[in-house]
């Protein structure tokens, strides 16, 4: 009996060890052969028809048609990206919409629904000339009225990022004629062009939404947009089917016939579905699984990017509560920074999917991150010296105690708490272990996002915590909130440290009112030099995402319209 059982078990296990002999083994990678004349046709290795088409700026032979199956981990519920910033909604719906401009790899604005634009010297009036002949998916013409409606009634009310950035600054959106839109600001406003892509400001049709509550309009479940794909069907909790928009204003695109977004909440199942060939594209993949899959390079391709549906240029950041006696001391904060081996976080926690932060701002904002800054390097010797100097010289077991620390009773243990989402527990364990090396005791407090933001922002009940701050495309949108003294309050993911510095506040305001990128860069450099002196946060690691897809597909972009130029060999 025992024998039979063990044979049964071991054969089951050995089956699961065997290499997969399913669909993927047969796929052939598409040769990325360059071609010259758009529209030319040829035959590929599998006798399929190839056309000469533009993919990411260069002309190559690509197959036409076919389906792309994309795994998404959440049923979005709504498909209106203008009324929310929720990542799940944006992932599933952005391909059906467009912004006025799109951003290229270097974050330069390029024309999309707007053909061209001019800005007055003071950066208070932006005039956009709209592309003519663009049609909504239902055949209605796209005009300036749609832009005005979208901003006035949807984005500036319900899109939390765009509302927070623009509502107070914007005076009015004018439409002098059907193809001209003017944004008039109360004061100089520099960052507008970085806030108009399909993620920050997707344009929705006024003729569908006017007169309704945009959060409840039935079109949110069967949207009408201008984008490369049209809505096909939506099966709740299961999948969303998008069909090619044959009248897309970018002639010849998209190349795929359908994009199918498949709801698979469990990431392990996503990987099984991907490996067994029923899914072509994953947005991300858990660390250990990633290494295993990447070893099979011939079958899969990857795209590593700082952009994610939930936000771009995200940085894992440790906040110090500047209103607590222990962490209000600069020496202690510098000591903790020195005590953290950030390389180890990069290697062991995120499996090198990112980089160690080199400045307070993400390097992804290519023009704004601080140059030549010296963040406190990993050195337990320096950390110990700083803690000694701060008066934490006593010992209780392995933990330091206070001996003449201002504001702290002698004999008090150097013990701090660390609040984190349960998903960040690997960061927490390493943080605790590394600080123990210099005699700091850390109490971990894992909290789900709701209780976390109540404790941190409303009650300020923490010593240190970790937050993934997504820096966005412009410091004005994603970074200022962390340092501006006006943003110390109960709003989630604002100024967690309660950092307050009049000079920094002033510089941020000045940068917002400046149009020239090089002038803004100078201002942000000054801000970051000050921040490195004050250490309100530990800028730990910048995280990246890895898209992974079968090598029979290609042409993906990291950002919003990720499949606009994608193709798959059938």
Partner 1 sequence: MSRYVLRRLAQVVPTVLGITLITFVLVHLAPGDPVEVLASGNGDEGYYSFMRAKYRLDEPLLVQLWTYLTNVLRGDLGTSYLTGEPVFKMITPRIGSTLLLAFSSIIVSMTVGIALGVIAALRAGKFLDRAVLRVSVLTAAAPSFWVAQVLLLVFALRLGIFPSDGRNSPGFEGSGFTRVLDTLWHLVLPLSVLAIQESSTLARLTRTGVVDQMSEDHIRLARAKGLSEFKVIIQHALRRALPPVVTVIGGRVGHVFSGAVVVELIFGWPGLGQLILSSSQSRDTPVLLGVLMIIAGAVVVTNLLTDLSYVLIDPRVRLR
Residues between 318 and 377 that touch partner 1 (CB under 8 A): none
Q: How far is the CB of 287 from partner 1 (least distance, A)?
A: 18
| Adjacent-strand bridge partners of 182 | 127, 174
Binders of partner 1 in range 127-186 (CB under 8 A): 157-158, 160-161, 163-164, 167-168
In the complex, minimum distance from the CB of residue 319 to partner 1, in angstroms, rounded to a whole number: 14
Name which of 134, 119, 280, 109 is nearest 188 in CA terms.
Answer: 119
Long-range contacts of 134-140 (CB under 8 A, 24+ apart): 134/226, 134/249, 135/226, 135/247, 135/249, 136/205, 136/207, 136/208, 136/224, 136/225, 136/226, 137/96, 137/224, 137/225, 137/226, 137/230, 137/231, 137/245, 138/205, 138/208, 138/224, 140/205, 140/207
Residues 274-293 that bind partner 1 (CB under 8 A): 275-276, 278-279
Least distance CB 314 / partner 1 (angstroms): 10
Give the binding range for partner 1 (CB under 8 A) out of 41-49, 351-359, 484-492, 554-562: 484-492
List 215, 406, 425, 516, residue binding partner 1 (CB under 8 A)? 215
Residue from 131, 262, 290, 324 binding partner 1 (CB under 8 A):
262
| Least CB distance to partner 1 at residue 136 (A) | 21
* Least Å from the CB of residue 469 to partner 1: 8
Residue 272 CB, shortest distance to partner 1, in Å, is 5
Residue of 119, 125, 145, 221 that binds partner 1 (CB under 8 A): 221
Nearer to partner 1 by C-beta: 64 or 131?
Answer: 64
Let me know: does 63 contact 568? Beta carbons within 8 Å: yes
Least separation, in Å, of the C-beta of 231 and partner 1?
14
Instruction: For partner 1, give the closer residue by CB, 385 or 492.
Output: 492
Instruction: Please identify, among the stretches 103-111, 254-262, 506-514, 556-564, the one whose residues bind partner 1 according to the rule CB under 8 A.
Output: 254-262
Using CB under 8 A as the binding rule, the residues of this chain from 486 to 515 that contact partner 1 are 487, 489-494
Size of the site for partner 1 (CB under 8 A): 73
SS (H, E, C) 51-119: EEEEECCEEEEEECCCEEEEEECCCCCCCCCCCCCCHHHHHHHHHHCCCCEEECCCCCEEECCEEEEEE
SS3 per-residue string spanning 232-247: EEEECCCEEEEEECCC
Residue pair 125/184 in contact by the 8 Å Cβ criterion: yes
CB of 432 to partner 1, least distance (A): 24
Task: Please answer whether residues 440 and 386 qualify as being in contact, where contact means their C-beta atoms are separated by less than 8 angstroms.
Answer: no
Comparison of 59 and 157: residue with beta carbon closer to partner 1: 157
> Taking CB under 8 A as the criterion, which residues in 20-39 touch partner 1?
20-23
Q: How far apart are CB 482 and partner 1 at their closest, in Å?
A: 12
Select the residue interacting with partner 1 from 104, 187, 437, 448 (CB under 8 A). Answer: 448
Helix (H, G, I), strand (E, B) or coil at 383: helix
3-state class percentages of the chain: helix first, strand second, coil last, to nearest 5: 30, 25, 45
Pairing label, strands 239-244, 464-470: unpaired
**Whole-number minimum distance, CB 330 to partner 1, in Å?**
28
Distance CA 368, CA 358 (A): 12
Give me the least distance between CB of 567 and partner 1, in Å please.
17
Of the pair 165, 515, the CB lying nearest partner 1 is at: 165
d(CA 470, CA 312): 6
Residue 18 touching partner 1 (CB under 8 A): yes
* 266 counts as binding partner 1 under rule CB under 8 A: yes
Decide: is 7 part of the binding site for partner 1 (CB under 8 A).
no
Nearest to 99 by CA among 203, 194, 174, 193: 203
Residues 75-104 that bind partner 1 (CB under 8 A): 75, 77-78, 84-87
What is the nearest approach in angstroms of partner 1 to the Cβ of residue 391?
36
**What's the burial of 377, exposed, middle or buried (CB within 10 Å: 0-12/13-18/19+)?**
exposed
Q: Is 69 in the site for partner 1 (CB under 8 A)?
A: yes
Per CB under 8 A, the list member of 107, 114, 224, 264 interacting with partner 1 is 264
User: How far apart, in whole angstroms, are the C-alpha atoms of residue 181 and residue 175?
Assistant: 5
Q: How far is 362 from 475, CA to CA, in rounded Å?
A: 9
Assign 189 to helix, strand or coil: coil
Residue 484 is a binding residue for partner 1 (CB under 8 A): no
Residue among 104, 105, 187, 213 that touches partner 1 (CB under 8 A): 213
265 binds partner 1 (CB under 8 A): yes
CB closer to partner 1, 273 vs 340: 273
- Residue 260 or 541: the one with the smaller Cβ distance to partner 1 is 260
Give 326's DSSP letter: T
Q: Does residue 198 bind partner 1 (CB under 8 A)? A: no
Q: How far is CA 360 from the centre of its chain?
A: 17
- Rounded distance between C-alpha atoms, residue 405 and residue 369, angstroms: 36
Among 239, 505, 542, 564, binds partner 1 (CB under 8 A): 239
Answer yes or no whether residue 241 interacts with partner 1 by CB under 8 A.
yes
Q: Could you tell me the smallest distance in angstroms from the CB atom of residue 15 to partner 1?
A: 5
Whole-angstrom distance, CA of residue 477 vs CA of residue 259: 31
- By C-beta, is 265 or 404 nearer to partner 1? 265
């Amino acid at each position: 009996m025992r024998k039979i059982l063990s044979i049964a078990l071991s054969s089951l296990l050995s089956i699961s060890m065997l290499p997969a002999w399913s669909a993927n083994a047969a796929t052939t990678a598409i040769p990325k052969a360059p071609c010259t004349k758009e529209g030319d046709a040829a035959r590929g290795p599998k006798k399929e028809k190839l056309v000469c088409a533009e993919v990411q700026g260069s002309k190559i032979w690509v197959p036409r048609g076919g389906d792309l199956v994309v795994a998404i981990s959440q049923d979005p519920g709504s498909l209106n990206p203008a009324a929310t910033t929720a990542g799940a909604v944006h992932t599933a719906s952005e391909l059906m919409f467009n912004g006025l401009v799109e951003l290229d790899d270097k974050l330069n604005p390029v024309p999309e629904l707007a053909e061209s634009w001019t800005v007055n010297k003071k950066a208070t009036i932006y005039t956009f000339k709209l592309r003519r002949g663009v049609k909504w998916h239902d055949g209605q013409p796209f005009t300036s009225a749609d832009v005005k409606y979208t901003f006035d009634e949807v984005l500036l009310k319900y899109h939390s990022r765009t509302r927070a950035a623009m509502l107070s600054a914007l005076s009015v959106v004018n439409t002098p004629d059907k193809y001209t839109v003017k944004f008039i600001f109360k004061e100089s406003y520099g960052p507008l062009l970085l806030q108009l892509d399909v993620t920050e400001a997707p344009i929705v049709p006024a003729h569908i939404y006017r007169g309704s509550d945009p959060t409840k309009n039935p079109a949110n479940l069967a949207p009408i947009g201008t984008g490369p794909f049209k809505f096909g069907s939506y099966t709740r909790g299961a999948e969303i089917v998008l069909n090619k928009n044959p009248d897309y204003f970018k002639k010849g695109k998209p190349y795929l016939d359908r994009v199918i977004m498949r709801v698979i909440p469990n990431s392990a199942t996503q990987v099984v579905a991907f490996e067994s060939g029923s899914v072509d594209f994953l947005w991300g993949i858990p660390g250990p699984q990633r290494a295993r899959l990447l070893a099979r390079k011939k079958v899969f391709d990857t795209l590593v990017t700082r952009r994610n549906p939930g936000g771009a240029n995200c940085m894992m950041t440790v906040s110090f509560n500047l209103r607590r006696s222990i962490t209000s001391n600069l020496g202690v904060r510098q000591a903790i920074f020195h005590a953290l081996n950030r390389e180890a976080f990069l290697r062991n926690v995120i499996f090198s999917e990112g980089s160690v932060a080199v400045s307070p701002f993400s390097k992804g904002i290519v023009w704004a991150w601080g140059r030549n800054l010296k963040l406190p390097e990993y050195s337990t010797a320096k950390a110990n010296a700083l803690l000694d100097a701060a008066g934490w010289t006593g010992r209780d077991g392995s933990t330091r105690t206070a001996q003449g620390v201002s504001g702290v009773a002698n004999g008090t243990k150097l013990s701090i708490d660390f609040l984190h989402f349960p998903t960040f527990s690997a960061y927490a364990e390493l943080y605790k272990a590394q600080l123990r090396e210099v005699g700091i005791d850390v109490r971990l407090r894992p909290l789900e996002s709701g209780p976390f933001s109540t404790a941190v922002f409303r009650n300020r009940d923490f010593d240190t915590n970790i937050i993934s701050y997504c820096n966005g495309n412009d410091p004005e949108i994603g970074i200022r909130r962390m340092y501006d003294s006006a943003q110390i309050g109960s709003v989630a993911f604002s100024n967690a440290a309660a950092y307050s510095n009049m000079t920094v506040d002033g510089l941020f305001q000045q940068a917002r009112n400046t149009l020239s990128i090089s002038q803004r860069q100078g201002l942000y450099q000054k801000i970051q030099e000050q921040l490195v002196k004050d250490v309100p946060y530990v800028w730990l690691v910048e995280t990246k995402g890895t898209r992974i897809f079968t090598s029979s597909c290609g042409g993906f972009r990291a950002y919003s319209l990720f499949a606009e130029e994608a193709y798959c060999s059938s």
